Every structure is written in C-alpha cells, then in structure tokens.
Amino acid sequence: MDKQLNRRAVEELFRSHKGQLTGYLHRLLQNREEALDIVQETFVRALGQSGFGDPGFQSRQWIFRVATNLAFSAGRRIRRSLKAFAGLTLDESNFQIPAAEHSVQKRDEMKALLAGLGKLDYQTRSAILLRYFENMSCQEIGEILSLPTGTVMTRLHRGRQALRSFIESGPLNRELSAEANWEEEDAVRSS
C-alpha cells in the first residue's frame, strides 16, 4: 500500500476514533492534558505504521493497544514524579450524563464510581473502561492489553468486585444508611 493511501486511512481513523480514544484515556489517566498528548502520539505512530486500510488489519484495536501502552508509561512517569497518584483529581466536566440522571444521588453515584476507578490498578481499570465505556468484547480487550481472554475476564470480575466494595464502603453508602436510620427513627417516634 502506498504512503498516501496509508496516510488517508490513518486520517480517517483519527477522525472517527479521536473522541472515543480521548475519553478512554482521560478516564484511564484522570488527566485530560496527558490524554490529549497520548492521542496525538498514538496517531503520529500510526502514520509510521504501514497496513492501515488493508483488509483484515484491525486498526481500532491497534490504536487502542498503542494508546494503552503509552498511557501505562505515562502513569508510571506521573507516579514517579508526583508520588501521590491517588491524589489526582478527575475533571468531571467532560462526562456527559443524560438529563434524566442529573439528580444529586446519580451524580454522587457517578462520583463514587469514578473515585473507585481511580483506586484500581491500570490494567484492571483499562479492562473495565474498555468493556463498559467503550463496549469492547473480552477478545478485543485481550488483543489491546496483550492478555488471554480468560485473564481479561478475571480482571473484569475482580475490578467489578473492587468497585462494588469501594462503593458499598464509601461515604455515599454511609450517608444513605444514616438517612434510612433517621427515617426509621422518625417512623417510630410518630407512631
């Protein structure tokens, strides 16, 4: 394939997947600027890769695999330089929540979920994000993360358990329990 055709294929891939890739990396790294840098670096590398546009070339998986590897490297760099990775904050303004979910409880649940994602290791977080935010199959995730499908399934299971545990033990759950106790006490007093 000549370089001009390859370049056009990469440009089309960039147009169609830039937003999705940026969102994935932003949630993974919890740092928008770093995510944008990695998206740019991924597509620069894609320009140097031949085969885009060839039948059978899985370009979507390729860009997610390269971007994920770059994100893992960036995460190590961030941890080394900040020594407090858990203290990074997430800019929630980039998440679009449907209008019906703008209640305070839903927003708090989303905050708890995002905080829980921040507690997961990169490999588990990336598997969760690729599966539930990017709707990829376990096989596709395995190709991106260079893992067997069974390992991906295990990471997804453990990630869901960790998120459930984090949310159940978190401040939101304690507030809801306290609120339920107050309602029970009010009901007893009024009877």
User: In this structure, are residues 3 and 16 in contact, taking their beta carbons and an 8 Å threshold?
Assistant: no
Start-to-end C-alpha separation, the chain:
81
Tell me the residue length of the chain: 191
pLDDT digits (tens, 9 = 90+) for 128-173: 999 988 889 999 999 999 999 999 999 999 999 998 888 788 665 5
Instruction: Reduce the DSSP state of residue 37 to 3 states and report it.
Output: helix
pLDDT the model gives residue 58: 83
Tokens of residue 182, six digits: 């107050």
pLDDT the model gives residue 84: 41
User: In this structure, are residues 162 and 112 in contact, taking their beta carbons and an 8 Å threshold?
Assistant: no
pLDDT band at 13 (very low <50, low <70, confident <90, very high): confident
pLDDT the model gives residue 67: 92
Instruction: Find where tokens 């960036």 sit.
Output: 74
Instruction: Reduce the DSSP state of residue 120 to 3 states and report it.
Output: coil
User: In this structure, are residues 70 and 42 in contact, taking their beta carbons and an 8 Å threshold?
Assistant: yes
The domains of the chain are located at 1-95, 98-191
Q: Is the pLDDT of residue 178 over 60?
A: no
pLDDT the model gives residue 183: 52
Q: Quick one: average pLDDT of 50-66?
A: 81
pLDDT band at 5 (very low <50, low <70, confident <90, very high): confident
Instruction: Find where tokens 């169609």 sit.
Output: 16
Q: Quick one: average pLDDT of 95-113?
A: 62
Q: What are the distances in angstroms from CA 60 to CA 1, 40, 49, 57?
A: 18, 15, 13, 9
> What is the spatial distance between Cα 12 and Cα 117, in angstroms, rounded to a whole number?
31
Residues sharing a CB contact under 8 Å with residue 142, sequence separation 6 or more, in sequence order? 148, 149, 151, 152
pLDDT the model gives residue 119: 87
Q: Is the pLDDT of residue 60 over 80?
A: yes
pLDDT the model gives residue 165: 87
Please indicate, yes or no, whether the overall pTM of this predicted structure exceeds 0.75. Answer: no
User: In this structure, are residues 142 and 149 in contact, taking their beta carbons and an 8 Å threshold?
Assistant: yes
Tokens of residue 164, six digits: 């459930």
Query: Among 50-64, 120-134, 164-178, which is the least confidently predicted range?
Result: 164-178
Write out the CATH class of domain 98-191: mainly alpha
DSSP 47-116: HH-S-TTSTT--HHHHHHHHHHHHHHHHHHHHHHHHS-GGG----GGG----GGG-SHHHHHHHHHHHHH
